[in-house]
Amino acid sequence: MANTYETLRLEEPQAHTLLVTLNRPEVGNAMNTLMGIELLDLWDGINADPARCRCVVLTGAGERIFCAGGDLKERNGMTDAQWQAQHLIFERGIRALLACPVPVIAAVNGAAYAGGCEISLCCDFIYASETARFALTEVTLGIMPGAGGTQNLPRAAGGRRAKEILLTGKPFTAQEGLEWGVVNRLCPPQEVVAQALETARVIAGNAPLSTRQIKQSVNHGLNMDLASAMMFEIEAYNRLVPTEDRREGVLAFNEKRKPNFQGR
């Protein structure tokens, strides 16, 4: 994981929190090949060293667009092989994001279309500007979502609603996203990142091993029958019992002070 990127801006605005900004505002933060490579490196780096941060907030540069999806100008004229090679980079980045053990909050500051919508759906939850709009427009281009859109949207909004969105390619508002379970919170346009960072601050103040185990338990449990998921949860729980953080949490409670979690 690099400290600086050309298409991403990385900041640490508060303790244990990484703010990642998709930084191509001149083209609506559209994903070109370089952004795909850099996102893959970012998520792979966090996966390899999850102690680097305790929460990630992902947003887009500017006030109008979170991410417009794939850079169609770059894709214009690509051969089939070139298109698929580029998309493989995007696929690997999405898999790395989904595998990220650290909680990731999408702070959707504006339009999240196509791949931009898919990236937000791959995050753990979404805070959206009241003016944000979402769409999966791939069907209007002769393709289909290939970064989890046909899987994550039905899990959030239900199959029937998701099929209507996917098959029409029509956008929906942040308010509709909230009503359908896609968005967790609506924020005034100038406050979406600040509110996401405040929630990140709360998460980062909790025991990092606990937050990772909770995320893993929820993600894997959703794909299991209830009995198997309960067993998975207990295995995750038992991994926390012998940790220093568990002992620190109980001690801090009894001493009436804020715990100092170390991730051990």
* CA-closest candidate to residue 24, choices 55, 69, 57: 69
For the question of residue 244 being annotated catalytic, the response is no
Distance between CA 68 and CA 135 in Å, rounded?
10
Sign of CA dihedral 238, 243, 249, 255: positive
* CA-closest candidate to residue 116, choices 157, 79, 171: 171
* CA-closest candidate to residue 146, choices 93, 91, 74, 81: 91
Q: Which of 26, 138, 176, 179 is catalytic?
A: 138
Q: Which of 91, 118, 235, 255 is catalytic?
A: 118
- Joined together, the tokens standing for residue 224 give 């299991």
For the question of residue 138 being annotated catalytic, the response is yes
3-class SS of residue 13: strand
Q: How far is CA 259 from CA 13, 149, 176, 264, in A?
A: 21, 39, 39, 13
Active site members = 118, 138
